[in-house]
Amino acid sequence: MSRTIGKDRLSPPLIYAFRSAHADRLYLNRRADKTDTSPKTVPPVAARGSLRAPITEQALREEVARDLSALVNTINLESAVDLDGFDAVRGSILNFGLRDLHARFADQATNGALVRDVEAAVRRYEPRLIGQSIHVSQIVRVDEPTLTVRLEISADLQCEPINIPVVFIADIDVDNCAISVSRAA
């Protein structure tokens, strides 16, 4: 997946190239010739090479945290449609996300189903984390003043030559069931 570029720089995942291009507005703001009105669909060779520039460990961790946040804040298809008999759909990207938390949040938080659902979703949809190393634990049951539940997601981030241990904190707002994911300090 990733290969070592330098001591502290890693080869980025492919999606990073698209995100960095979007953030930099590379295609919109760079025009070599202001008088040329023909559409530019392919960037110059120099720009294409810079899209896959090495990424730091911190930036890679932030990318994974961003994608984990999207994963846990998405309601999967199985919450709305009965997928009995459709095992291929149940295991595919069509079922990306978690079960709807609103319906039975209190039950899920107390009986461990929430932890199991988050762990299963991370194993299935986050390939940069090594599946056998993923561990999700519920740190705070329900914090009374803020009405939040805190989960800790720990795993090894797949890198070369050595995998990087990472820990993410997921805070679940009980009122609106929104989940924010951040890196542990």
The pLDDT tens digits of the residues spanning 108-161 come to: 666 788 889 999 999 999 999 999 999 999 887 666 676 778 899 999 998 877
Residue 15: inside a domain:
no
Q: How far is CA 52 from CA 43, 75, 81, in A?
A: 13, 32, 39
Indicate whether this model's pTM tops 0.85.
no
Domain hosting residue 108, numbered range: 57-183
Residue 51: inside a domain:
no
Dist. CA 2–CA 125, nearest whole Å: 17
User: What pLDDT band is residue 76 in, cutting at 50, 70 and 90?
Assistant: very high
Is residue 77 within 8 Å of residue 94, measured between CB atoms? yes
Q: Is 86 a residue whose pLDDT tops 70?
A: yes
Residue 30: inside a domain:
no
Total structural domains within the chain: 1
Cis before 145 (ω within 30): no
Residue 90: inside a domain:
yes
Tell me the CA end-to-end span of the chain in Å, nearest whole number: 25
User: What pLDDT band is residue 167 in, cutting at 50, 70 and 90?
Assistant: very high
State the CATH number of the domain containing residue 100.
3.10.450.40
- Phi and psi angles of residue 112, each rounded to the nearest 5 degrees, phi first: 90, 0
